[in-house]
A and B are shown apart, each in its own frame.
Chain A
Amino acid sequence: MESIMPDMQPMNQTVQETPQFRVLTEDQIEQIYFAALDVLERVGSRVHEDEALELFRNSNEAVVSDDKRVRVPASLVERALKSYPRKITLQGRNGKRSVALQKDHVYFGTGSDLPFTYDRKTGERRRTTYKDVTDAARIVDALPNFDFFMSHGIVSDVPNPQTYDRHQFMAMLEGCTKPMVVTSVDGEGLEDLWKMACLFQGGEEEFRLSPMFVAYIEPISPLTNDRSAVEKLLFAAEKGIPAMYTPCPSSGATAPATIAGMLVQSLAETLLAAVMCYLKKPGMPLIMGGVTTVMDMRTTTYSYGAPEMSLASAANTDISKWLNLLMFSTGGCSDSKWLDEQAAIESTLSLLTAFLSGANLVHDVGYIDSGVNASLESLVMNDEIIGMVRQVGKGIRTDEEGLALKVINEAGPGGEFVTRDHTYEHWRDWFLPRFMDRSDWETWNSEGCKTMSDRVNEETQRILDTYEPQPIDDATRKGLKEIIDAAEKRHSQ
């Protein structure tokens, strides 16, 4: 096609594929990093697990005091940091390698373990069940903008609290084929979940190449590591299971009240884990994390909707990229008790910020009531928000086709664009709303004056009524049951 622009090869151009967003400069990141190293050298972090303490002692570099405080020199931290992979590709139980974790690639998913659910029939708040988790799994499997699944709810109708994680994973697998992030009770629990995943993947080696899940593990802010968390982390290191060690500090309560201070402390927590895993087995796929937020000083709530959470999380992502670590972040969640205007506002702000920051796994999408209540409708609503957010991320093309001089020329003054080829080819680049209503008042009125929540509700019900995920074959199902039964048996004494 003949160019109609006089000069299409200008010099000294900078274009950007996508919007650019960052909170911290490299100098600021270094300040935070050096401060975190200082915390590890002077304050240290407490570790309540014997094998890990032994690893630190045997390093002949870390210093372990009688009160189980571990202090680590910068040289060891920096060596450890060099050992982590910059890319992990996750696959679903259907074998699709659908989540390629690498710098600035962003994926969205749910959170886990919500104790309560509003019953869709009675509207009453009740405890979350196995079926609720399977329903959430089906919804996430069906929704186009969700990339990975965490359990959303906790299965509270199972025989033994010590083995709930196996049942929960089973409930997740029943409904969802996408890659997952799993929570587990302890090291033994994680081992069972990993064995269950290996059944789908055809063994440990295949799991390592393209794992089906990432293990979710947390330190206790400030600067404390409990036994079961460390047990899980060391097991993950040994087997090459990707894991995030995600601090959950609340600024002003379990971390300093300044965001920079909270970032310093959580980075020190992350770096300690990086050293611990390195000493166990260099190179395990460790992912950096952080649900960095504020404690509301009126209610004491750990806030999932605060703008400070978005800001701190984005800054944390800047830090992760500078460290060459992958990042597990947070968005699409709310402190609101109900899926209402507040939930929509808070979800949107955190999703947009997390997306622009380039965090790799953005979790907790759909949480309401500050991580206490589950809402399937919230998942559906957030799917739409993610679609909008991704659209903003597409950026603007300023090449010849984008500048559209040809079609402007064709249409001329007073012309139209609806019938032009250029429009026919490009309007599909736009975001196509599914639940956002852009109709005229008459149509809206005649179709029953539906609100956003009506539309979201209908879609939720439609998915629940009609969606069937790819089933689990009988042989695998049998293997899964054996692992769960064996766990029940071990814990029945």
Chain B
Amino acid sequence: MAVDLGKMADLLIAGKVEDVSNMTQEAIDEGMNPKEILENGLIAGMDVVGQRFKACEMFIPEVLRSAKAMSSGMDKLRPLLSESDSRAAGSFVIGTVKGDLHDIGKNLVAMMFEGAGFKVVNLGIDLDTQVFVDAVKEHKPDLLGMSALLTTTMPRMGEVINALKEAGIRDQVKIMVGGAPVTEDFAQEIGADIYGANAASSVDKGREAVGK
């Protein structure tokens, strides 16, 4: 009997990590097309998760659990998918600026991006400007995210942008900023590309910015 991809999507929505992993393996063993498993099973499920989150029918812990189920399936599929089919939705480097120890908001943004299929590098907190510059050089991400929760540390985000300019790599990345005292106006003032008010809306904006 053929594996039911609709059921796989349902299991993913229900956050059944192990079941999704097992079912993906079954589908592979049955010789089902990996691309079809990805699109009609995993991605179809995640799309519903996204819709339900927006409709306030699913909540953060559930969304993150579904994302985990998704990646457990992806782990099985990746070796079988062509390079282009298995490519991440984009790559994202994120960190909290120097002098600022607020961690959890930035981590949630990282997790939600990961859930949306981005490859994410979370640099940590209290980071020197140079750490951001080096990370952009090393990882060549599509998006760089910076977090600041303090009025006193916000200006550091502008300093990072200037340092990226000086290093001649500002235009290689789209820059996103966020945190309680940060505003759309401030983001523009310092020359960032995107302001993210919260994790969910930031993911939408991030997706749009990398064109996927």
* Chain A residues close to B by CB (< 8 Å): 115-116, 127, 154, 156, 161-162, 164, 185, 220, 226, 250, 252-254, 295, 297-300, 371-372
Do residues B155 and A161 form an inter-chain contact, with CB atoms below 8 A? yes
The answer, among A116, A220, A226, A254, for a CB contact under 8 Å with B181, is A116
B152 at the interface (CB under 8 A from A): yes
Q: Which residues of the other chain, B, contact A127 by a CB distance below 8 angstroms?
A: 151, 181
Q: Smallest Cβ distance from B98 to chain A, in angstroms?
A: 11
Q: A253-B104, A300-B105 are in contact. Are A372 and B60 (CB under 8 A)?
A: no
Do residues A253 and B151 form an inter-chain contact, with CB atoms below 8 A? no
| Tally of chain B residues near chain A (CB < 8 A) | 18
Do residues B180 and A253 form an inter-chain contact, with CB atoms below 8 A? no
B127 at the interface (CB under 8 A from A): no
Do residues A252 and B61 form an inter-chain contact, with CB atoms below 8 A? yes
**Nearest CB in chain B to that of A221: its residue:** B104
Q: A161-B153, A161-B155, A220-B103 are in contact. Are A298 and B181 (CB under 8 A)?
A: no
Q: Which residues of the other chain, B, contact A300 by a CB distance below 8 angstroms?
A: 60, 105, 108, 198-199
The answer, among A115, A254, A299, for a CB contact under 8 Å with B180, is A115
Do residues B151 and A250 form an inter-chain contact, with CB atoms below 8 A? no
For window 71-123 of B, CB contacts with A under 8 Å fall at: 99, 101, 103-105, 108
Do residues A253 and B108 form an inter-chain contact, with CB atoms below 8 A? yes
Q: Which residues of the other chain, B, contact A254 by a CB distance below 8 angstroms?
A: 103-104
Could you give 28 example pairs across A and B, Cβ below 8 Å?
A115-B151, A127-B151, A154-B151, A161-B151, A161-B152, A161-B153, A161-B155, A162-B152, A164-B152, A185-B152, A220-B101, A250-B104, A253-B104, A253-B108, A254-B103, A295-B104, A297-B59, A297-B60, A298-B56, A298-B59, A299-B198, A300-B60, A300-B108, A300-B198, A300-B199, A371-B180, A372-B180, A372-B181
In the bound complex, how far is the Cα of B181 from the Cα of A372, in angstroms? 7
For window 160-204 of B, CB contacts with A under 8 Å fall at: 180-181, 198-199
In the bound complex, how far is the Cα of B99 from the Cα of A299, in angstroms? 26
Q: Which residues of the other chain, B, contact A116 by a CB distance below 8 angstroms?
A: 181
**Nearest CB in chain A to that of B102: its residue:** A220
Do residues A226 and B59 form an inter-chain contact, with CB atoms below 8 A? no
Interface of A is mostly: loop
Q: Smallest Cβ distance from B161 to chain A, in angstroms?
A: 18
In the bound complex, how far is the Cα of B198 from the Cα of A295, in angstroms? 13
Q: Which residues of the other chain, A, contact B59 by a CB distance below 8 angstroms?
A: 297-298
Q: Interface readout for B53-79 with A: 1 if CB under 8 Å, 0 if not? A: 000100111000000000000000000
Other A-B pairs, 5, CB within 8 Å; known A116-B181, A300-B108: A156-B151, A295-B104, A297-B61, A300-B198, A371-B180
The answer, among A154, A226, A253, A371, for a CB contact under 8 Å with B101, is A226
Q: Interface readout for B121-165 with A: 1 if CB under 8 Å, 0 if not? A: 000000000000000000000000000000111010000000000
Kindly list the 4 A-B residue pairs having the minimum CB-CB distance in the complex, ordered from nearest.
A161-B152, A115-B181, A297-B59, A297-B60
Q: Smallest Cβ distance from A91 to chain B, in angstroms?
A: 30
In the bound complex, how far is the Cα of B99 from the Cα of A154, in angstroms? 17
Q: Smallest Cβ distance from B160 to chain A, in angstroms?
A: 16
In the bound complex, how far is the Cα of B82 from the Cα of A369, in angstroms? 48
Q: Which residues of the other chain, A, contact B153 by a CB distance below 8 angstroms?
A: 161
Q: Smallest Cβ distance from B111 to chain A, in angstroms?
A: 10
Q: Which residues of the other chain, B, contact A297 by a CB distance below 8 angstroms?
A: 59-61
Q: Which residues of the other chain, A, contact B105 by a CB distance below 8 angstroms?
A: 300
In the bound complex, how far is the Cα of B53 from the Cα of A298, in angstroms? 8
**Nearest CB in chain B to that of A370: its residue:** B180
Q: Which residues of the other chain, B, contact A250 by a CB distance below 8 angstroms?
A: 104
Q: Smallest Cβ distance from B112 to chain A, in angstroms?
A: 9
In the bound complex, how far is the Cα of B176 from the Cα of A80, in angstroms? 46
Q: Which residues of the other chain, B, contact A161 by a CB distance below 8 angstroms?
A: 99, 151-153, 155
In the bound complex, how far is the Cα of B101 from the Cα of A226, in angstroms? 8
Q: Which residues of the other chain, A, contact B104 by a CB distance below 8 angstroms?
A: 250, 253-254, 295
Q: Smallest Cβ distance from B67 to chain A, in angstroms?
A: 15
Q: Which residues of the other chain, A, contact B108 by a CB distance below 8 angstroms?
A: 253, 300
Q: Which residues of the other chain, B, contact A371 by a CB distance below 8 angstroms?
A: 180
Q: Smallest Cβ distance from A127 to chain B, in angstroms?
A: 7
In the bound complex, how far is the Cα of B103 from the Cα of A254, in angstroms? 9
**Nearest CB in chain A to that of B155: its residue:** A161
**Nearest CB in chain B to that of A220: its residue:** B101
In the bound complex, how far is the Cα of B60 from the Cα of A226, in angstroms? 28
In the bound complex, how far is the Cα of B185 from the Cα of A116, in angstroms? 14
Q: Smallest Cβ distance from B37 to chain A, in angstroms?
A: 30
Q: Smallest Cβ distance from B26 to chain A, in angstroms?
A: 32
In the bound complex, how far is the Cα of B151 from the Cα of A115, in angstroms? 7
In the bound complex, how far is the Cα of B155 from the Cα of A419, in angstroms? 67
Q: Smallest Cβ distance from A34 to chain B, in angstroms?
A: 28
Q: Smallest Cβ distance from B78 to chain A, in angstroms?
A: 30
Q: Which residues of the other chain, B, contact A220 by a CB distance below 8 angstroms?
A: 101, 103
**Nearest CB in chain B to that of A252: its residue:** B61
